């Protein structure tokens, strides 16, 4: 049986559409009729560079991991899900047996199989099978497009949790791309009283302001760290942030996040850039600024879904462009260039024919 149009990365700069067989769900799996798949920066990076760190595309790979759809069929041993259920798909499936999994930090599992991370195929297709226990039913008031955005929102939930964001927190977010914006939404929902966000793009800062940032800061060349810290602190009423969340991966931005976070505060590094950078480590140490990394997320989907269902978080403004699956190449070009003010590009997988 065919009619499973699939977006396949053949090699760098070469995405092709193939009609593949509809897969059969194995025991413990469900077959999902895909509805919405968002394009992530990692998808674009694999398309343009063929690798992210040690993850190298060595064979054709299906793209996509920010996804939601409708269950078409359940394999044996599946409980709690049925045909017709609308689900958000958590893209990483762990071994469930190692110490990391048993401790609840399954994002660190060494046997993790994560959609669209070589050599694992993603879900930018019409039909896709996935482990049932990593599919989450969506409440009636949460759309499938919102369901697809649970993946980046889970990153925000994990980052803000690692940062200890709570009532009254003053949060500095460096980078106003999609991940910076979901961290903004999450920080506000977790009780942050003030959230200032930085970027080099004035349009993205405008969007951030519309989505609830209490302050924005346009980073410009030639401005010293001391001047930036003073100007950013001014937006916190003359104080420094007690939480810094860095979402760009740029060395200069990481340095700013450390310098602009108060003594005794926490900086969480979300964005990934160069494998090695120069950091003001002595400054951080003598001021007891904790530096924490995050890798994806764990146990965050239920909270992310609850945030959206309750109205505490509105992810809809993130979606700026929509394309059909047949238009995947054009969708990736838009995501890469940011044309038309693109923030989150959504691909619709349903066969409208």
Q: What is the pLDDT of residue 2?
A: 58
Task: Say if residue 8 is in the same domain as residue 145.
Answer: yes
Task: Say if residue 244 is in the same domain as residue 169.
Answer: yes
Task: Say if residue 15 is in the same domain as residue 145.
Answer: yes
Q: Which helix (H) or strand (E) holds 100?
A: helix 99-102
CATH code at 113? 3.90.180.10
Q: Is residue 260 part of a domain?
A: yes
d(CA 57, CA 351): 28
Q: Is residue 301 part of a domain?
A: no
| Domains held by the chain: number | 2
Band (pLDDT 50/70/90 cuts) for residue 182 is very high
Task: Say if residue 169 is in the same domain as residue 272.
Answer: yes
Q: 67 Cβ partners below 8 Å, 6+ apart?
A: 34, 36, 37, 38, 88, 89, 91, 115, 122, 123, 124, 128, 148, 151
Task: Say if residue 75 is in the same domain as residue 142.
Answer: yes
Band (pLDDT 50/70/90 cuts) for residue 107 is very high
Task: Say if residue 173 is in the same domain as residue 230.
Answer: yes
- Judged against a pLDDT cut of 70, whether residue 255 lies above it is answered with yes
Task: Say if residue 205 is in the same domain as residue 284.
Answer: yes
Q: Is residue 304 part of a domain?
A: no
Residue 327 class from Cβ within 10 Å (0-12 exposed, 13-18 middle, 19+ buried)?
middle
Q: What is the mean pLDDT of residues 243-263?
A: 97
CATH code at 237? 3.40.50.720
Task: Say if residue 219 is in the same domain as residue 247.
Answer: yes
* 183-222 pLDDT tens trace: 999 999 999 999 999 999 999 999 999 999 999 999 999 9
Task: Say if residue 284 is in the same domain as residue 225.
Answer: yes
What domain range is 289 assigned to? 156-293
Q: Is residue 215 part of a domain?
A: yes
Buried b (16+ CB within 10 A) or exposed e, 211-248: bbbbbbbebeeeeeeeebeeebbebbeeebbbbbbbbb
Band (pLDDT 50/70/90 cuts) for residue 175 is very high
Q: Is residue 186 part of a domain?
A: yes
Q: Is residue 196 part of a domain?
A: yes
Q: What is the mean pLDDT of residues 151-164?
A: 98
Q: Report the percent of the chain where pLDDT is more than 70.
A: 99
Q: What is the pLDDT of residue 351?
A: 81
* 302-343 pLDDT tens trace: 999 999 999 999 999 999 999 999 999 999 999 999 999 999
- Judged against a pLDDT cut of 60, whether residue 353 lies above it is answered with no
Band (pLDDT 50/70/90 cuts) for residue 170 is very high
Task: Say if residue 142 is in the same domain as residue 245.
Answer: no
Q: Is residue 310 part of a domain?
A: no
Asked if 239 and 262 touch (Cβ cutoff 8 Å), the reply is: yes
* 73-89 pLDDT tens trace: 999 999 999 999 999 99
The mean predicted confidence, pLDDT, of the chain is 97
Task: Say if residue 215 is in the same domain as residue 337.
Answer: no
Band (pLDDT 50/70/90 cuts) for residue 1 is very low
In this structure, of 117-126, 268-277, 303-312, the range with the lowest mean pLDDT score is 268-277
> Helix or strand or coil: residue 302?
helix
Q: 97 Cβ partners below 8 Å, 6+ apart?
A: none
Task: Say if residue 257 is in the same domain as residue 326.
Answer: no
Q: Is residue 77 part of a domain?
A: yes
- Judged against a pLDDT cut of 50, whether residue 295 lies above it is answered with yes
Q: What is the mean pLDDT of residues 170-192?
A: 98
């Amino acid at each position: 049986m065919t009619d499973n149009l699939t977006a396949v990365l053949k090699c760098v700069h070469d995405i092709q559409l193939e009609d593949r067989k509809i897969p059969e769900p194995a025991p413990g799996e469900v077959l999902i009729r895909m509805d919405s798949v968002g394009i992530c920066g990692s998808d674009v990076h694999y398309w343009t560079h063929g690798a992210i760190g040690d993850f190298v595309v060595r064979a054709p790979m299906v793209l996509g991991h920010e996804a939601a759809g409708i269950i078409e069929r359940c394999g044996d041993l599946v409980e709690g899900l049925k045909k017709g259920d609308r689900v958000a798909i958590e893209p990483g499936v762990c071994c469930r047996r190692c110490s990391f999994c048993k401790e609840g930090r399954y994002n660190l599992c060494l046997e993790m199989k994560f959609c669209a991370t070589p050599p694992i195929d993603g879900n930018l297709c019409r039909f896709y099978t996935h482990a049932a226990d990593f599919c989450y039913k969506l409440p009636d008031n949460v759309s499938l497009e919102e369901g697809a955005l649970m993946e980046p929102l889970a990153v925000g939930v994990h980052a803000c949790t690692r940062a200890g964001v709570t009532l009254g927190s003053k949060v500095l977010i460096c980078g106003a791309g999609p991940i910076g914006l979901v961290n903004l939404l999450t920080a506000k929902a977790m009780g942050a009283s003030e959230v200032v966000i930085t970027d080099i793009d004035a349009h993205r800062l405008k969007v951030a302001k519309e989505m609830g940032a209490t302050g924005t800061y346009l980073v410009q060349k030639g401005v010293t760290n001391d001047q930036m810290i003073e100007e950013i602190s001014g937006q916190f009423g003359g104080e420094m942030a007690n939480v810094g969340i860095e979402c760009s991966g740029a060395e200069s931005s990481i340095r700013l996040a450390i310098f602009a976070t108060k003594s005794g505060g926490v900086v969480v590094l979300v964005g990934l850039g160069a494998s090695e950078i120069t950091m003001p480590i002595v400054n951080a140490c003598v001021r007891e600024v904790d530096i924490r990394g995050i890798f994806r997320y764990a146990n965050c989907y239920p909270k992310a879904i609850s945030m959206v269902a309750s109205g505490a978080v509105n992810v809809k403004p993130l979606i700026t462009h929509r394309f059909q699956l047949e238009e995947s190449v054009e969708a990736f070009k838009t995501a890469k260039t940011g044309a038309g003010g693109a923030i989150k590009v959504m691909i619709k997988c349903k066969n409208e024919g």
